[in-house]
Amino acid sequence: MSTSRPARKSRQQVAALCYRNGDAGKEVLLITSRDTGRWIVPKGWPIEGKDGAQSALQEAWEEAGVRKAQIDSDPIGTYFYEKGLNDGDSIPVEAEVYLAHVTKLRDSYPEVDERERAWFAPKEAANLVDEPELREILRTL
């Protein structure tokens, strides 16, 4: 699904596109980033000893409180973004997106005090995120 690649070599991350079936159809779980407060999906660096899907699910737990979910083993797409670093610089990142059907969410989780989370219709979620490729992935749900 990616349309353009950064000129510099990008680093790899994994992301969990968490959803549930609500009364009006699918709902997507977004969280706020810790630094800017913008809406994003849970994501992070691959974890040694875990595959991409397992790493994405671990990030969904730490950042959004997803305790139980059925996650697809293959990514449904990728998106690019510039990750800001503490020194003010940034690096290009390519995030592989894994679809996760959430069946249990906890109110207490590692980053509960650092982020907000909310459920949105996929089209509304697409309008809230900044990354064009992620927007496109959300619109296809």
Q: Tell me: pLDDT of 36 over 80.
A: yes
Which CATH superfamily includes the segment(s) 11-139? Nucleoside Triphosphate Pyrophosphohydrolase (3.90.79.10)
pLDDT value of residue 126: 98
Q: Which residues contact 118 (CB under 8 A, 6 or more apart)?
A: 29, 30
Check pLDDT > 60 for residue 25.
Answer: yes
Q: Any idea where the domains of the chain sit in the sequence? A: 11-139
Q: What is the pLDDT of residues 83-131, one digit of tens each?
A: 888 888 989 999 999 999 999 999 999 999 999 999 999 999 999 999 9
CB proximity list for 90: less than 8 A, separation 6 or greater: 82, 83, 84
**pLDDT for 8:** 60
**Residue 37 burial (C-beta neighbours within 10 Å; 0-12, 13-18, 19+):** exposed
Write down the pTM of the prediction: 0.90
**% of the chain surpassing 70 pLDDT:** 94
Q: How would residue 2 be classed by pLDDT, with cut points 50, 70 and 90?
A: very low
Q: Minimal CA–CA distance to 40: which of 114, 105, 102? A: 114
Distance CA(101)–CA(14), nearest Å, equals 16
Average pLDDT, the chain: 93
In which element (H, E) is residue 31 found?
strand 25-32
CA dihedral for 46, 51, 54, 56, sign (positive or negative)? positive
Question: What pLDDT score does 7 carry?
Answer: 55
Alpha-carbon span 114 to 69, nearest angstrom: 22
pLDDT confidence of 42, banded at 50, 70, 90? very high
Q: What is the pLDDT of residue 10?
A: 83
Looking at residues 36-53, what average pLDDT do you find?
96
